[in-house]
Amino acid sequence: MSDSRPPRPERPPRQDPPPSRRDREADAADAALKALRDKLSGVLRRLPDVERRVLELRMGLVDGNPHKPGDVAERMGMTIPEVKRIETRAFERIREVGPIKGLERFLGR
């Protein structure tokens, strides 16, 4: 049994609309955030593991929630003064090493 209807004309492929200004701005913000994370990751990789871990927890780089020194101390089996000393030492190292220059554009300096 054959169909007596004429064949349908083919439709041109659907094209996505050009990205809006908001989409372009969001893409630029995403790219800047990724670049910042990459730079920050490079800085943190240069630290000893315990200093890196303390900073990640204190600054909320692990889960987006900054933790208090007491929380970090409990998680890492340390005292609060130890956490504070390690954090201070880590920031001193970061200042000494110099890769912070790569982060200056993100910090507005």
Using 50, 70 and 90 to split pLDDT, how confident is the model at 76? very high
DSSP single-letter state for residue 47: S
- Which pTM was predicted? 0.64
- pLDDT tens readout for residues 20-72: 888 878 888 888 888 888 888 888 999 999 999 999 999 998 898 999 999 99
What burial letters (b/e) apply to 67-101, b meaning 16+ CB within 10 Å? bebeebbeeeebeeebbbebbeebeeebeeeeeee
Domains of the chain: 28-107 (1.10.10.10)
